[in-house]
Amino acid sequence: MDSSPDLRDQICAVRRLSKYYYNFKCQHFSSRAEEEEEEEEEEEEEEEEEEEEEEEEEEEQEEEEEEEEEEEKGPCSICRKLTFYLCRSHDIGGRVASKSVFGRPFEMLLKLPWNLQRHLGCEFEPDTDVLDLLGDSKPEITSLWSGYIAPHKITQPIKVTPRT
């Protein structure tokens, strides 16, 4: 009988220790699980950023390829329409050479539909007098492909403002 209280004390001590150990283990694993979740979230964010960067690079490459294809194809349909529009009176070969835009071609520019004006980079005020627009500076259109004007390849966009 004397040994039974000692045995009870030992059993209680073991139970207390196991309880402490269990609590410690639970806390340890829960904090560890939180750390792992945070690491996984960080990895996911990094992967998303990498994917976004790759997508941006792919888009840039696609844009470059499209530009190269456009250059290889030659003038776009709007440029062809514009060339036809400006060269209706046809000089030799139907070309508009690199020269100042005077007279009829410039008046034709003013009569262009708004989408062609936007394509050219110049949108004119309605009912603008050609002579007021010409002023001292004369805008130039460059012929980059033989027979065609390529307004989207103009080195300096045409910006014409009326004289005040």
- Which pLDDT tens digit goes with each residue over 17-38? 777 777 777 776 777 777 888 8
Instruction: Using CB atoms within 10 Å of the CB of residue 67, give its burial: 0 to 12 exposed, 13 to 18 middle, 19+ buried.
Output: exposed
**For position 93, what pLDDT does the model report?**
39
Residue 4 phi/psi, 5° resolution? -65, -40
Residues 6 or more apart whose Cβ sits within 8 Å of residue 109: 86, 101, 117, 120, 122, 124, 158
**Domain assignments of the chain as residue spans, ordered by start:** 1-73, 77-153
* Per-residue model confidence as pLDDT tens digits over 90-115: 343 334 433 434 344 555 555 566 56
- Residue at token pair 């989207």: 152
3-state secondary structure of 144: coil
Cβ–Cβ contacts within 10 Å for residue 57, how many? 10
Each residue of 42-68: pLDDT tens digit? 999 999 999 999 999 999 988 888 777
Token code pair at residue 33: 């699980």
DSSP E strand stretches across 8-161: 99-100, 140-141
Global pTM?
0.28
Amino acid type, 122: C
**Gap between the Cα atoms of 125 and 134, Å rounded:** 14
Find how far residue 139's CA is from the centre of its chain. 30
